[in-house]
A and B are shown apart, each in its own frame.
Chain A
Amino acid sequence: GDSVTQMEGPVTLSEEAFLTINCTYTATGYPSLFWYVQYPGEGLQLLLKATKADDKGSNKGFEATYRKETTSFHLEKGSVQVSDSAVYFCALLPLNTGGFKTIFGAGTRLFVKA
């Protein structure tokens, strides 16, 4: 079945360091791909998305490129801030569910130290 695998955390970085959180997926066809972020005590928020191969989603300095050949959607940011400390979820929306059943990865917790 469809699934999402993301790197285990926690990831601990110093402020201004480069961030990569790996995400790979298994799905038939061309699902839509997402990154959601969950700040402490809050619900998940959509960070960025991409709906077809080679699309790049970007928001708040974060980027991720939909790579069909490697079935990946890695999240990157050039310079992290303390305020980026949160849990990041990679997710996919399979085409064969009528666009309704989003599948989430287990999440990767990021700590950014000042």
Chain B
Amino acid sequence: EAGVVQSPRYKIIEKKQPVAFWCNPISGHNTLYWYLQNLGQGPELLIRYENEEAVDDSQLPKDRFSAERLKGVDSTLKIQPAELGDSAVYLCASSRDKETQYFGPGTRLLVL
């Protein structure tokens, strides 16, 4: 079974530029999560999808962050415009049973 796929793995951009991250979850996993992981910290939930519906986006900074999961499979997280403080690792995870989550390798973002 293929794991959660994320791309790109690394991204370097200048502040005020837009950036997008892509995630393809494990086949059959209806629940998809985007997390933010700052250096030396644990993951913090940004948004959770059940199929194509965003059911928990309370931690997503909506002034600059957006996400979509149009067909209930893969998902895109976007930042526009990026700020220096957005430098972090963005993790995607998926789940079938709402308890055990399977994580992708993450996208490491550096904003200069």
Contacts and interface: CB of A to CB of B under 8 A. Distances in A.
Interface string A58-100: 0000000000000000000000000000000101010000111
A101 B101 contact: no
A102 interface: yes
B98 A43 contact: no
A107 B42 contact: yes
Interface string B45-61: 10010000001100000
Nearest to A41: B105
Q: From DSSP, what is the main secondary structure of chain B's interface residues?
A: loop
Interface string B18-57: 0000000000000100000000111111001000000110
Q: How large is the interface on B (under 10, 10 to 19, 20 to 34, 35 or more residues)?
A: 20 to 34
Interface residues of A, number: 22
Contact of B56 (A43, A49, A100): A100
A89 B99 contact: no
A89 B56 contact: no
B91 A43 contact: yes
A41 B42 CA distance: 15
Contacts of A99: 98-99
Interface of A: 4, 32, 36, 41-46, 49, 89, 91, 93, 98-102, 104-107
